[in-house]
Amino acid sequence: MIIDDIMTDKITLHGLGFVQVQLEGNQRLHVWHPELPRRTCFEHSAIHDHRFDFVSRVLVGEQRNTEYGDIWCEDGEFVMYLHEGARTPRGGRPWTPDGRTNMVVTDDFTVSAGSTYNQRAYKYHRTEPQGNGKVATIMQEFGEYSRGAHSTCRFGIEPDTDFDRFQWSPARLWEVVTDVLLGQQVTP
């Protein structure tokens, strides 16, 4: 089964705390800013994977990327949530419990502006903007697989399945992009 992942909106929020801009050629501009909303469970649910391989080039700032290995077990620290199916009216996908796991750090590195990093499909990771929290990257997808992606959430924490990707207007999101890319201030 191929999952329709086409976002019809050019610019939206992402629950992991960045603006996502759809570009041509399987590319996306991702822009982090400390004033952006995140999922309410963000601190417990930032580890995730993707159903595609990608390369990401940091344009502005520094991005920390931590990779994890998962060890499936009945009493794992994290619940795995599969994201498959049609998007909800708020732009997300369903969170379907799919087992428990422990996460073990396998790599942890920081990528500076002008450098790239690669991420393999179904390899768990977490990205965190460094410095002042303002980071911009261009991500290009390579290869797409039929199985859905996963997010994790610490066991006992309810995932934020209602995060609204459209809670800020496109104009306000473009202000954030401008602030990060050109150093201009965001209107409060």
Q: What is the pLDDT of residue 184?
A: 54
* pLDDT tens, residue by residue, 29-72: 999 999 999 999 999 999 999 999 999 999 999 999 999 999 98
- Residue 147, pLDDT score: 87
Cβ atoms of 3 and 146 closer than 8 Å? yes
Per-residue model confidence as pLDDT tens digits over 89-121: 887 788 889 999 999 999 999 999 999 999 999
Count Cβ atoms below 10 Å from residue 161 Cβ, excluding itself: 16
CATH architecture of the domain with range 11-182? Sandwich (2.60)
Which residue(s) pair with 63 in the sheet? Answer: 111, 129
Compare 10 and 6 and report the one with higher pLDDT: 10
3-class SS of residue 14 = strand
